[in-house]
A and B are shown apart, each in its own frame.
Chain A
Protein backbone atom coordinates (compact mmCIF):
# COMPACT_ATOMS: atom_id res chain seq x y z
CA UNK A 1 0.00 0.00 0.00
CA UNK A 2 1.50 3.33 -1.06
CA UNK A 3 1.74 5.85 1.74
CA UNK A 4 0.27 8.59 -0.48
CA UNK A 5 -2.91 6.52 -0.99
CA UNK A 6 -3.65 6.12 2.73
CA UNK A 7 -5.96 9.19 2.81
CA UNK A 8 -7.92 7.63 -0.05
CA UNK A 9 -8.42 4.42 1.91
CA UNK A 10 -9.46 6.46 4.97
CA UNK A 11 -11.97 8.38 2.84
CA UNK A 12 -13.53 5.10 1.66
CA UNK A 13 -13.11 3.12 4.86
CA UNK A 14 -14.55 5.60 7.38
CA UNK A 15 -18.08 5.67 5.91
CA UNK A 16 -18.04 1.87 5.47
CA UNK A 17 -17.14 1.45 9.14
CA UNK A 18 -19.90 3.88 10.08
CA UNK A 19 -22.47 1.92 8.06
CA UNK A 20 -21.39 -1.32 9.80
CA UNK A 21 -21.77 0.25 13.25
CA UNK A 22 -25.21 1.67 12.47
CA UNK A 23 -26.20 -1.67 10.97
CA UNK A 24 -25.21 -3.47 14.16
CA UNK A 25 -27.17 -0.96 16.29
CA UNK A 26 -30.23 -1.33 14.07
CA UNK A 27 -30.34 -5.08 13.52
CA UNK A 28 -29.11 -6.49 16.81
CA UNK A 29 -32.27 -5.53 18.74
CA UNK A 30 -34.36 -7.34 16.11
CA UNK A 31 -32.43 -10.52 16.76
CA UNK A 32 -31.89 -10.33 20.52
CA UNK A 33 -34.93 -8.43 21.77
CA UNK A 34 -37.87 -10.71 22.39
CA UNK A 35 -40.14 -11.61 25.20
CA UNK A 36 -40.48 -15.08 26.66
CA UNK A 37 -44.22 -14.61 26.39
CA UNK A 38 -46.56 -14.17 23.45
CA UNK A 39 -49.32 -11.59 23.18
CA UNK A 40 -52.86 -11.49 21.88
CA UNK A 41 -54.10 -8.75 19.64
CA UNK A 42 -57.07 -8.10 17.42
CA UNK A 43 -58.47 -5.66 14.92
CA UNK A 44 -60.61 -2.77 16.00
CA UNK A 45 -58.38 -0.74 18.27
CA UNK A 46 -61.15 1.16 20.02
CA UNK A 47 -63.36 -1.93 20.44
CA UNK A 48 -66.19 -0.21 18.58
CA UNK A 49 -69.23 -1.95 17.21
CA UNK A 50 -68.89 -0.06 13.92
CA UNK A 51 -65.65 0.76 12.14
CA UNK A 52 -65.10 2.28 8.73
CA UNK A 53 -62.67 0.67 6.37
CA UNK A 54 -62.44 2.17 2.91
CA UNK A 55 -66.02 2.59 1.64
CA UNK A 56 -67.46 -0.10 3.93
CA UNK A 57 -68.89 0.00 7.40
CA UNK A 58 -67.87 -3.12 9.36
CA UNK A 59 -70.54 -4.10 11.88
CA UNK A 60 -69.45 -6.44 14.68
CA UNK A 61 -71.98 -8.52 16.57
CA UNK A 62 -69.68 -9.48 19.45
CA UNK A 63 -66.64 -8.18 21.29
CA UNK A 64 -63.92 -9.72 23.50
CA UNK A 65 -64.29 -9.28 27.23
CA UNK A 66 -61.46 -10.07 29.63
CA UNK A 67 -62.45 -11.14 33.11
CA UNK A 68 -60.57 -10.47 36.31
CA UNK A 69 -59.24 -14.05 36.31
CA UNK A 70 -57.74 -13.53 32.83
CA UNK A 71 -60.22 -15.56 30.83
CA UNK A 72 -61.58 -14.24 27.52
CA UNK A 73 -65.11 -14.54 26.32
CA UNK A 74 -67.22 -13.22 23.46
CA UNK A 75 -70.07 -10.93 24.43
CA UNK A 76 -72.85 -9.46 22.31
CA UNK A 77 -72.76 -5.78 21.52
CA UNK A 78 -75.78 -4.05 22.96
CA UNK A 79 -77.66 -2.32 20.19
CA UNK A 80 -78.98 0.85 21.69
CA UNK A 81 -82.44 1.67 20.58
CA UNK A 82 -85.24 3.79 21.84
CA UNK A 83 -87.67 0.90 21.57
CA UNK A 84 -89.35 2.54 18.63
CA UNK A 85 -86.67 2.17 16.00
CA UNK A 86 -85.82 -0.92 14.02
CA UNK A 87 -82.34 -2.18 15.11
CA UNK A 88 -81.43 -2.31 11.40
CA UNK A 89 -82.22 1.39 11.15
CA UNK A 90 -80.03 2.08 14.16
CA UNK A 91 -77.12 0.36 12.41
CA UNK A 92 -77.71 2.22 9.15
CA UNK A 93 -77.65 5.54 10.97
CA UNK A 94 -74.44 4.55 12.76
CA UNK A 95 -72.88 3.62 9.40
CA UNK A 96 -73.94 6.93 7.85
CA UNK A 97 -75.57 5.09 4.98
CA UNK A 98 -72.38 3.34 3.89
CA UNK A 99 -72.57 -0.32 2.78
CA UNK A 100 -72.58 -2.57 5.84
CA UNK A 101 -70.42 -5.66 6.20
CA UNK A 102 -71.47 -7.94 9.09
CA UNK A 103 -68.92 -9.89 11.08
CA UNK A 104 -69.27 -11.92 14.24
CA UNK A 105 -66.20 -10.54 16.01
CA UNK A 106 -62.87 -8.93 15.17
CA UNK A 107 -60.16 -11.38 14.10
CA UNK A 108 -57.99 -12.43 17.02
CA UNK A 109 -54.28 -13.22 16.68
CA UNK A 110 -51.42 -14.41 18.84
CA UNK A 111 -47.90 -13.11 18.11
CA UNK A 112 -45.23 -15.74 18.70
CA UNK A 113 -41.78 -14.33 19.50
CA UNK A 114 -40.09 -17.64 18.76
CA UNK A 115 -41.13 -17.56 15.11
CA UNK A 116 -41.83 -13.79 14.82
CA UNK A 117 -45.14 -14.58 13.19
CA UNK A 118 -48.79 -14.16 14.01
CA UNK A 119 -51.42 -16.90 13.99
CA UNK A 120 -55.16 -16.58 14.10
CA UNK A 121 -57.11 -17.72 17.16
CA UNK A 122 -60.48 -19.32 16.57
CA UNK A 123 -63.46 -18.83 18.87
CA UNK A 124 -63.30 -22.36 20.25
CA UNK A 125 -59.74 -21.78 21.48
CA UNK A 126 -60.78 -18.89 23.71
CA UNK A 127 -61.57 -21.13 26.66
CA UNK A 128 -57.93 -22.38 26.72
CA UNK A 129 -56.47 -18.88 26.93
CA UNK A 130 -55.55 -17.08 30.10
CA UNK A 131 -54.36 -13.48 29.96
CA UNK A 132 -51.37 -13.02 32.26
CA UNK A 133 -51.34 -9.21 32.11
CA UNK A 134 -53.02 -6.59 29.97
CA UNK A 135 -50.06 -4.18 29.99
CA UNK A 136 -46.61 -5.53 30.82
CA UNK A 137 -45.27 -9.02 30.27
CA UNK A 138 -43.79 -10.87 33.27
CA UNK A 139 -40.30 -10.18 31.79
CA UNK A 140 -40.89 -6.43 31.55
CA UNK A 141 -41.94 -5.81 27.92
CA UNK A 142 -44.83 -3.75 26.64
CA UNK A 143 -46.35 -3.42 23.18
CA UNK A 144 -47.41 -0.07 21.83
CA UNK A 145 -48.34 1.61 18.59
CA UNK A 146 -46.65 4.74 17.37
CA UNK A 147 -47.49 7.04 14.51
CA UNK A 148 -45.15 9.36 12.75
CA UNK A 149 -45.57 10.96 9.38
CA UNK A 150 -42.07 12.25 8.75
CA UNK A 151 -38.39 11.64 9.28
CA UNK A 152 -35.05 13.42 8.92
CA UNK A 153 -34.13 10.98 6.17
CA UNK A 154 -37.37 11.34 4.18
CA UNK A 155 -35.60 12.35 0.97
CA UNK A 156 -33.54 9.15 1.10
CA UNK A 157 -36.64 7.02 1.69
CA UNK A 158 -36.28 6.87 5.44
CA UNK A 159 -39.83 7.82 6.34
CA UNK A 160 -42.11 5.56 8.34
CA UNK A 161 -39.28 4.66 10.68
CA UNK A 162 -41.31 5.52 13.75
CA UNK A 163 -44.74 4.22 12.73
CA UNK A 164 -46.11 0.83 13.62
CA UNK A 165 -46.31 -1.64 16.48
CA UNK A 166 -43.26 -1.67 18.72
CA UNK A 167 -41.88 -3.78 21.51
CA UNK A 168 -41.03 -1.46 24.39
CA UNK A 169 -38.53 -2.11 27.16
CA UNK A 170 -37.87 0.40 29.96
CA UNK A 171 -39.87 2.99 28.06
CA UNK A 172 -37.79 2.71 24.88
CA UNK A 173 -38.82 1.00 21.66
CA UNK A 174 -36.46 -1.89 20.98
CA UNK A 175 -37.89 -3.32 17.77
CA UNK A 176 -40.79 -3.12 15.41
CA UNK A 177 -43.31 -5.96 15.28
CA UNK A 178 -44.99 -6.93 12.03
CA UNK A 179 -48.63 -7.71 12.69
CA UNK A 180 -51.48 -9.06 10.59
CA UNK A 181 -53.51 -5.93 11.22
CA UNK A 182 -52.90 -2.50 9.77
CA UNK A 183 -51.49 0.24 11.94
CA UNK A 184 -52.16 3.06 9.54
CA UNK A 185 -54.42 5.79 10.77
CA UNK A 186 -56.18 8.25 8.61
CA UNK A 187 -59.48 10.02 8.37
CA UNK A 188 -60.87 7.22 6.24
CA UNK A 189 -59.43 4.17 7.98
CA UNK A 190 -59.62 3.53 11.66
CA UNK A 191 -56.61 2.01 13.29
CA UNK A 192 -56.87 -1.75 13.34
CA UNK A 193 -54.43 -2.86 16.03
CA UNK A 194 -55.75 -3.57 19.52
CA UNK A 195 -53.42 -5.06 22.11
CA UNK A 196 -55.36 -7.48 24.33
CA UNK A 197 -52.84 -9.04 26.67
CA UNK A 198 -49.82 -11.22 27.34
CA UNK A 199 -50.27 -14.97 27.23
CA UNK A 200 -48.20 -18.02 27.88
CA UNK A 201 -45.73 -19.16 25.21
CA UNK A 202 -47.73 -22.33 24.71
CA UNK A 203 -50.54 -20.45 22.98
CA UNK A 204 -49.63 -20.78 19.32
CA UNK A 205 -52.83 -20.36 17.37
CA UNK A 206 -53.83 -22.05 14.12
Chain B
Protein backbone atom coordinates (compact mmCIF):
# COMPACT_ATOMS: atom_id res chain seq x y z
CA UNK B 1 0.00 0.00 0.00
CA UNK B 2 2.87 2.37 0.77
CA UNK B 3 4.20 1.84 -2.77
CA UNK B 4 0.82 2.83 -4.19
CA UNK B 5 0.77 6.00 -2.07
CA UNK B 6 4.31 6.86 -3.22
CA UNK B 7 3.28 6.36 -6.83
CA UNK B 8 0.31 8.69 -6.40
CA UNK B 9 2.60 11.32 -4.83
CA UNK B 10 5.00 10.99 -7.76
CA UNK B 11 2.11 11.29 -10.19
CA UNK B 12 1.04 14.55 -8.57
CA UNK B 13 4.60 15.91 -8.67
CA UNK B 14 5.04 15.05 -12.36
CA UNK B 15 1.60 16.36 -13.26
CA UNK B 16 0.14 13.04 -14.39
CA UNK B 17 -2.66 13.53 -11.90
CA UNK B 18 -3.94 16.78 -10.36
CA UNK B 19 -5.00 17.48 -6.76
CA UNK B 20 -8.52 18.30 -7.92
CA UNK B 21 -8.77 14.92 -9.65
CA UNK B 22 -7.68 13.21 -6.44
CA UNK B 23 -10.28 15.18 -4.47
CA UNK B 24 -13.02 14.20 -6.92
CA UNK B 25 -11.94 10.58 -6.64
CA UNK B 26 -11.98 10.60 -2.83
CA UNK B 27 -15.39 12.31 -2.81
CA UNK B 28 -16.71 9.73 -5.21
CA UNK B 29 -15.29 6.84 -3.21
CA UNK B 30 -16.58 8.25 0.08
CA UNK B 31 -20.07 8.48 -1.38
CA UNK B 32 -20.05 4.93 -2.70
CA UNK B 33 -18.01 3.10 -0.09
CA UNK B 34 -20.27 1.84 2.70
CA UNK B 35 -19.18 2.68 6.23
CA UNK B 36 -17.56 -0.23 7.98
CA UNK B 37 -19.00 -1.48 11.22
CA UNK B 38 -15.99 -0.07 13.02
CA UNK B 39 -16.69 3.40 11.60
CA UNK B 40 -20.30 3.17 12.73
CA UNK B 41 -19.23 2.00 16.18
CA UNK B 42 -16.79 4.91 16.44
CA UNK B 43 -19.59 7.37 15.67
CA UNK B 44 -21.85 5.81 18.28
CA UNK B 45 -18.99 5.84 20.80
CA UNK B 46 -18.26 9.51 20.08
CA UNK B 47 -21.90 10.42 20.53
CA UNK B 48 -22.16 8.47 23.76
CA UNK B 49 -19.00 10.03 25.15
CA UNK B 50 -20.30 13.47 24.23
CA UNK B 51 -23.70 12.87 25.82
CA UNK B 52 -22.01 11.45 28.91
CA UNK B 53 -19.85 14.52 29.24
CA UNK B 54 -22.84 16.82 28.90
CA UNK B 55 -24.76 14.88 31.55
CA UNK B 56 -21.78 15.18 33.94
CA UNK B 57 -21.82 18.98 33.51
CA UNK B 58 -25.59 19.22 33.94
CA UNK B 59 -25.35 17.01 37.01
CA UNK B 60 -22.74 19.24 38.64
CA UNK B 61 -24.75 22.38 37.93
CA UNK B 62 -27.94 20.85 39.34
CA UNK B 63 -26.02 19.56 42.38
CA UNK B 64 -24.65 23.03 43.08
CA UNK B 65 -27.93 24.87 42.53
CA UNK B 66 -30.03 22.55 44.68
CA UNK B 67 -27.54 21.92 47.48
CA UNK B 68 -25.47 25.09 47.62
CA UNK B 69 -25.67 25.53 51.39
CA UNK B 70 -25.93 21.84 52.29
CA UNK B 71 -22.68 20.74 50.65
CA UNK B 72 -20.67 23.58 52.14
CA UNK B 73 -17.44 25.10 50.86
CA UNK B 74 -15.60 21.80 50.60
CA UNK B 75 -18.44 20.19 48.68
CA UNK B 76 -18.65 23.09 46.24
CA UNK B 77 -14.93 23.04 45.59
CA UNK B 78 -14.81 19.25 45.23
CA UNK B 79 -17.70 19.19 42.79
CA UNK B 80 -16.14 21.86 40.60
CA UNK B 81 -12.37 22.11 40.98
CA UNK B 82 -12.13 18.51 42.10
CA UNK B 83 -13.98 17.10 39.10
CA UNK B 84 -12.14 19.55 36.82
CA UNK B 85 -8.79 18.31 38.08
CA UNK B 86 -9.78 14.64 37.76
CA UNK B 87 -11.07 15.25 34.23
CA UNK B 88 -7.88 17.07 33.29
CA UNK B 89 -5.76 14.18 34.55
CA UNK B 90 -7.97 11.63 32.77
CA UNK B 91 -7.70 13.65 29.56
CA UNK B 92 -3.90 13.52 29.69
CA UNK B 93 -4.01 9.84 30.61
CA UNK B 94 -6.20 8.89 27.64
CA UNK B 95 -4.10 11.16 25.42
CA UNK B 96 -0.96 9.34 26.51
CA UNK B 97 -2.51 5.94 25.79
CA UNK B 98 -3.63 6.97 22.33
CA UNK B 99 -0.36 8.66 21.45
CA UNK B 100 1.91 5.82 22.57
CA UNK B 101 0.21 3.27 20.28
CA UNK B 102 2.11 3.35 17.00
CA UNK B 103 0.73 3.13 13.49
CA UNK B 104 2.24 -0.33 12.95
CA UNK B 105 0.85 -1.85 16.14
CA UNK B 106 -1.48 -4.83 16.25
CA UNK B 107 -5.17 -4.25 15.35
CA UNK B 108 -6.33 -4.68 18.94
CA UNK B 109 -3.90 -1.95 20.03
CA UNK B 110 -5.19 0.27 17.22
CA UNK B 111 -8.68 -0.20 18.66
CA UNK B 112 -7.43 0.84 22.10
CA UNK B 113 -5.85 3.91 20.50
CA UNK B 114 -9.10 4.83 18.75
CA UNK B 115 -11.18 4.31 21.89
CA UNK B 116 -8.75 6.30 24.05
CA UNK B 117 -8.57 9.26 21.67
CA UNK B 118 -12.30 9.94 21.76
CA UNK B 119 -12.85 10.74 25.45
CA UNK B 120 -9.72 12.94 25.67
CA UNK B 121 -11.59 15.89 24.21
CA UNK B 122 -14.66 15.17 26.35
CA UNK B 123 -12.55 15.16 29.52
CA UNK B 124 -10.86 18.39 28.47
CA UNK B 125 -14.27 19.94 27.82
CA UNK B 126 -15.56 18.96 31.27
CA UNK B 127 -12.43 20.36 32.86
CA UNK B 128 -12.63 23.59 30.86
CA UNK B 129 -16.23 24.25 31.93
CA UNK B 130 -15.86 23.37 35.61
CA UNK B 131 -12.44 24.94 36.24
CA UNK B 132 -13.50 28.62 35.95
CA UNK B 133 -16.61 27.88 38.01
CA UNK B 134 -14.53 26.29 40.74
CA UNK B 135 -11.98 29.08 40.63
CA UNK B 136 -14.77 31.62 41.08
CA UNK B 137 -16.05 29.72 44.13
CA UNK B 138 -12.52 29.57 45.56
CA UNK B 139 -11.91 33.30 45.10
CA UNK B 140 -15.30 34.06 46.60
CA UNK B 141 -14.55 31.96 49.68
CA UNK B 142 -11.19 33.70 50.05
CA UNK B 143 -13.13 37.01 50.18
CA UNK B 144 -11.51 38.38 47.04
CA UNK B 145 -14.82 40.02 46.11
CA UNK B 146 -14.45 42.23 49.19
CA UNK B 147 -11.06 43.55 48.19
CA UNK B 148 -10.91 43.79 44.41
CA UNK B 149 -13.40 44.66 41.70
CA UNK B 150 -15.46 42.07 39.85
CA UNK B 151 -13.59 42.92 36.65
CA UNK B 152 -10.24 42.06 38.27
CA UNK B 153 -11.61 38.71 39.46
CA UNK B 154 -12.94 38.11 35.95
CA UNK B 155 -9.43 38.84 34.60
CA UNK B 156 -7.82 36.41 37.05
CA UNK B 157 -10.26 33.58 36.30
CA UNK B 158 -10.08 34.00 32.53
CA UNK B 159 -6.28 34.34 32.55
CA UNK B 160 -5.68 31.24 34.68
CA UNK B 161 -8.21 29.26 32.63
CA UNK B 162 -6.52 30.40 29.42
CA UNK B 163 -3.08 29.39 30.69
CA UNK B 164 -4.32 25.93 31.68
CA UNK B 165 -6.18 25.43 28.40
CA UNK B 166 -3.39 26.81 26.20
CA UNK B 167 -0.73 24.69 27.85
CA UNK B 168 -2.86 21.57 27.39
CA UNK B 169 -3.40 22.61 23.77
CA UNK B 170 0.35 22.99 23.24
CA UNK B 171 0.94 19.45 24.49
CA UNK B 172 -2.04 17.59 23.03
CA UNK B 173 -3.17 19.69 20.02
CA UNK B 174 -6.79 18.67 20.64
CA UNK B 175 -9.46 20.56 18.70
CA UNK B 176 -11.73 21.27 21.66
CA UNK B 177 -8.86 23.10 23.37
CA UNK B 178 -8.57 25.54 20.44
CA UNK B 179 -12.21 26.46 21.04
CA UNK B 180 -11.92 26.83 24.80
CA UNK B 181 -8.63 28.74 24.58
CA UNK B 182 -10.32 31.18 22.19
CA UNK B 183 -13.30 31.53 24.55
CA UNK B 184 -11.04 32.22 27.56
CA UNK B 185 -8.89 34.67 25.57
CA UNK B 186 -12.01 36.56 24.45
CA UNK B 187 -13.33 36.63 28.02
CA UNK B 188 -9.94 37.94 29.19
CA UNK B 189 -9.87 40.77 26.64
CA UNK B 190 -13.40 41.94 27.47
CA UNK B 191 -12.59 41.78 31.21
CA UNK B 192 -9.43 43.88 30.77
CA UNK B 193 -11.38 46.44 28.73
CA UNK B 194 -14.13 46.48 31.37
CA UNK B 195 -11.60 47.14 34.13
CA UNK B 196 -9.88 49.90 32.17
CA UNK B 197 -13.16 51.67 31.39
CA UNK B 198 -14.47 51.31 34.94
CA UNK B 199 -14.54 54.63 36.72
CA UNK B 200 -13.49 56.67 33.70
CA UNK B 201 -16.84 58.37 33.40
CA UNK B 202 -16.77 58.15 29.63
CA UNK B 203 -20.12 58.73 27.99
CA UNK B 204 -22.27 55.76 27.02
CA UNK B 205 -21.69 56.41 23.31
CA UNK B 206 -17.91 56.26 23.70
CA UNK B 207 -18.08 53.08 25.79
CA UNK B 208 -20.45 51.49 23.28
CA UNK B 209 -18.08 52.31 20.41
CA UNK B 210 -15.12 50.98 22.40
CA UNK B 211 -16.92 47.68 23.01
CA UNK B 212 -17.84 47.47 19.31
CA UNK B 213 -14.26 48.12 18.17
CA UNK B 214 -13.04 45.55 20.69
CA UNK B 215 -15.44 43.02 19.19
CA UNK B 216 -14.28 43.85 15.68
CA UNK B 217 -10.60 43.45 16.58
CA UNK B 218 -11.35 40.15 18.31
CA UNK B 219 -13.18 39.08 15.15
CA UNK B 220 -10.08 39.91 13.08
CA UNK B 221 -8.07 37.85 15.54
CA UNK B 222 -10.46 34.92 15.07
CA UNK B 223 -10.16 35.26 11.29
CA UNK B 224 -6.36 35.27 11.43
CA UNK B 225 -6.40 32.30 13.82
CA UNK B 226 -8.73 30.40 11.50
CA UNK B 227 -6.37 31.16 8.62
CA UNK B 228 -3.44 29.82 10.65
CA UNK B 229 -5.39 26.69 11.59
CA UNK B 230 -6.13 25.99 7.93
CA UNK B 231 -2.72 26.58 6.36
CA UNK B 232 -0.35 25.75 9.18
CA UNK B 233 -2.16 23.17 11.30
CA UNK B 234 -4.35 21.64 8.55
CA UNK B 235 -7.39 21.82 10.86
CA UNK B 236 -9.98 22.53 8.17
CA UNK B 237 -13.23 22.08 10.09
CA UNK B 238 -11.95 24.14 13.02
CA UNK B 239 -10.74 26.81 10.61
CA UNK B 240 -14.25 27.06 9.13
CA UNK B 241 -15.73 27.46 12.60
CA UNK B 242 -13.36 30.27 13.54
CA UNK B 243 -13.89 32.02 10.22
CA UNK B 244 -17.67 31.81 10.60
CA UNK B 245 -17.52 33.19 14.15
CA UNK B 246 -15.24 36.01 12.98
CA UNK B 247 -17.72 36.99 10.27
CA UNK B 248 -20.66 36.94 12.69
CA UNK B 249 -18.81 38.97 15.33
CA UNK B 250 -17.38 41.54 12.91
CA UNK B 251 -20.47 42.13 10.78
CA UNK B 252 -23.03 42.24 13.59
CA UNK B 253 -20.84 44.39 15.86
CA UNK B 254 -20.20 46.96 13.14
CA UNK B 255 -23.97 47.43 12.77
CA UNK B 256 -23.93 49.21 16.14
CA UNK B 257 -21.61 51.94 14.89
CA UNK B 258 -23.05 55.20 13.66
CA UNK B 259 -21.89 58.28 11.86
CA UNK B 260 -19.52 57.64 8.96
CA UNK B 261 -19.73 53.90 9.62
CA UNK B 262 -23.27 53.95 8.24
CA UNK B 263 -21.63 54.73 4.89
CA UNK B 264 -18.53 52.55 5.33
CA UNK B 265 -20.61 49.52 6.27
CA UNK B 266 -21.75 49.16 2.68
CA UNK B 267 -18.12 48.56 1.65
CA UNK B 268 -17.59 46.19 4.57
CA UNK B 269 -20.63 44.19 3.47
CA UNK B 270 -19.47 44.02 -0.14
CA UNK B 271 -16.03 42.98 1.06
CA UNK B 272 -17.53 40.25 3.25
CA UNK B 273 -19.57 38.85 0.38
CA UNK B 274 -16.57 38.92 -1.96
CA UNK B 275 -14.44 37.21 0.65
CA UNK B 276 -17.10 34.55 1.17
CA UNK B 277 -17.10 33.83 -2.55
CA UNK B 278 -13.32 33.67 -2.76
CA UNK B 279 -13.19 31.36 0.27
CA UNK B 280 -16.02 29.29 -1.26
CA UNK B 281 -17.90 29.39 2.02
CA UNK B 282 -21.69 29.16 1.91
CA UNK B 283 -22.00 29.72 5.66
CA UNK B 284 -20.16 33.06 5.67
CA UNK B 285 -22.07 34.12 2.53
CA UNK B 286 -25.35 33.54 4.36
CA UNK B 287 -24.10 35.45 7.41
CA UNK B 288 -22.97 38.35 5.19
CA UNK B 289 -26.35 38.44 3.45
CA UNK B 290 -28.23 38.51 6.76
CA UNK B 291 -25.97 41.34 7.93
CA UNK B 292 -26.69 43.28 4.73
CA UNK B 293 -30.43 42.77 5.25
CA UNK B 294 -30.21 44.13 8.80
CA UNK B 295 -28.09 47.03 7.52
CA UNK B 296 -30.75 47.90 4.94
CA UNK B 297 -33.44 47.90 7.62
CA UNK B 298 -31.26 50.04 9.91
CA UNK B 299 -30.44 52.63 7.22
CA UNK B 300 -34.04 52.81 6.01
CA UNK B 301 -35.35 53.32 9.53
CA UNK B 302 -32.68 55.89 10.34
CA UNK B 303 -32.74 58.03 7.18
CA UNK B 304 -36.00 57.41 5.36
CA UNK B 305 -38.57 56.83 8.09
CA UNK B 306 -39.31 60.53 8.20
CA UNK B 307 -39.70 61.06 4.48
CA UNK B 308 -41.90 58.12 3.44
CA UNK B 309 -44.51 56.24 5.40
CA UNK B 310 -43.59 53.16 7.41
CA UNK B 311 -45.81 50.83 5.42
CA UNK B 312 -44.27 51.86 2.07
CA UNK B 313 -40.82 51.60 3.62
CA UNK B 314 -41.54 48.07 4.82
CA UNK B 315 -42.68 47.08 1.32
CA UNK B 316 -39.47 48.46 -0.21
CA UNK B 317 -37.27 46.81 2.39
CA UNK B 318 -39.12 43.52 1.88
CA UNK B 319 -38.47 43.57 -1.87
CA UNK B 320 -34.84 44.51 -1.30
CA UNK B 321 -34.34 41.57 1.03
CA UNK B 322 -36.03 39.21 -1.43
CA UNK B 323 -33.64 40.51 -4.08
CA UNK B 324 -30.77 39.95 -1.67
CA UNK B 325 -31.95 36.36 -1.21
CA UNK B 326 -31.90 35.78 -4.97
CA UNK B 327 -28.45 37.36 -5.24
CA UNK B 328 -27.13 35.15 -2.43
CA UNK B 329 -28.55 32.03 -4.08
CA UNK B 330 -27.06 33.02 -7.43
CA UNK B 331 -23.63 33.73 -5.96
CA UNK B 332 -23.64 30.49 -4.03
CA UNK B 333 -24.69 28.43 -7.03
CA UNK B 334 -22.38 30.02 -9.56
CA UNK B 335 -19.22 30.71 -7.60
CA UNK B 336 -19.23 28.39 -4.62
CA UNK B 337 -21.05 25.16 -5.36
CA UNK B 338 -19.97 25.19 -8.98
CA UNK B 339 -16.31 25.67 -8.02
CA UNK B 340 -16.58 22.93 -5.43
CA UNK B 341 -17.94 20.50 -8.05
CA UNK B 342 -15.17 21.34 -10.49
CA UNK B 343 -12.65 21.41 -7.67
Q: CB of B153 within 8 A of chain A? A: yes
CB–CB B231/A159 < 8 A: no
Q: CB of B111 within 8 A of chain A? A: no
Q: Which of B291-330 contact A (CB under 8 A)?
A: none
CB–CB B197/A14 < 8 A: no
Looking at chain B's contact residues, the main secondary structure is helix
Determine the residue in chain A with the shortest Cβ distance to B187.
A156
> Which B residues are CB-close (under 8 A) to A15?
185, 189, 217-218, 221
Q: CB of A31 within 8 A of chain B? A: no
A121 CA / B214 CA spacing, docked (Å): 45
CB–CB A14/B153 < 8 A: no
Stretch from B59-67, B90-98, B204-212, B281-289 contacting the other chain = B204-212
Interface size class of B (residues with CB under 8 A): 35 or more
> Which B residues are CB-close (under 8 A) to A146?
201
A153 CA / B200 CA spacing, docked (Å): 13
A164 CA / B225 CA spacing, docked (Å): 40
CB–CB A23/B152 < 8 A: no
A11 CA / B228 CA spacing, docked (Å): 9
Determine the residue in chain B with the shortest Cβ distance to A13.
B221
> Which A residues are CB-close (under 8 A) to B189?
15, 18-19
A12 CA / B166 CA spacing, docked (Å): 13
> Which B residues are CB-close (under 8 A) to A27?
196
Residue in contact with B214 in the complex, picked from A22, A157, A162, CB distance below 8 Å:
A22
User: Given A11-B225, A151-B207, are A161 and B217 also a contact pair (CB < 8 Å)?
Assistant: no
User: Given A8-B232, A152-B211, A156-B190, are A161 and B152 also a contact pair (CB < 8 Å)?
Assistant: no
Residue in contact with A14 in the complex, picked from B193, B199, B211, B221, CB distance below 8 Å:
B221
CB–CB A5/B228 < 8 A: yes
Q: Which of B170-204 contact A (CB under 8 A)?
A: 185, 187, 189-204
Interface size class of A (residues with CB under 8 A): 35 or more
A152 CA / B300 CA spacing, docked (Å): 26
The proximity string for A residues 44-75 relative to B, scoring 1 for CB distances below 8 Å and 0 otherwise, is 00000000000000000000000000000000
Q: Which of A129-158 contact B (CB under 8 A)?
A: 146, 151-153, 156-158
> Which B residues are CB-close (under 8 A) to A2?
232
CB–CB A157/B153 < 8 A: yes
Q: CB of A170 within 8 A of chain B? A: no
The proximity string for B residues 52-86 relative to A, scoring 1 for CB distances below 8 Å and 0 otherwise, is 00000000000000000000000000000000000
CB–CB A176/B203 < 8 A: no
Residue in contact with B213 in the complex, picked from A10, A18, A153, A164, CB distance below 8 Å:
A18
A177 CA / B153 CA spacing, docked (Å): 23
Q: CB of A7 within 8 A of chain B? A: yes
CB–CB B228/A7 < 8 A: yes
Q: CB of A166 within 8 A of chain B? A: yes
A151 CA / B152 CA spacing, docked (Å): 16
Most buried by B among A14, A17, A146, A173: A14
A175 CA / B197 CA spacing, docked (Å): 11
> Which B residues are CB-close (under 8 A) to A18?
189, 213-214, 217
Q: CB of B149 within 8 A of chain A? A: yes
A112 CA / B65 CA spacing, docked (Å): 49
> Which A residues are CB-close (under 8 A) to B218?
15
Most buried by B among A5, A19, A161: A161
Q: CB of A160 within 8 A of chain B? A: yes
Q: CB of B154 within 8 A of chain A? A: yes
User: Given A5-B228, A15-B221, are A152 and B196 also a contact pair (CB < 8 Å)?
Assistant: no
CB–CB A153/B199 < 8 A: no
Interface residues of A (CB under 8 A from B): 2, 4-5, 7-8, 10-12, 14-15, 17-19, 22-23, 25-27, 29, 146, 151-153, 156-162, 164, 166, 172-176
Name 15 extra pairs, CB < 8 A, besides A153-B207, A161-B202. A4-B228, A8-B224, A8-B232, A11-B228, A14-B217, A15-B217, A19-B192, A152-B208, A152-B211, A156-B187, A157-B151, A158-B151, A158-B194, A166-B201, A176-B201
Q: What are 9 contact pairs spanning A and B, CB under 8 A?
A: A4-B232, A7-B227, A18-B214, A19-B192, A152-B207, A153-B190, A157-B151, A158-B195, A173-B200
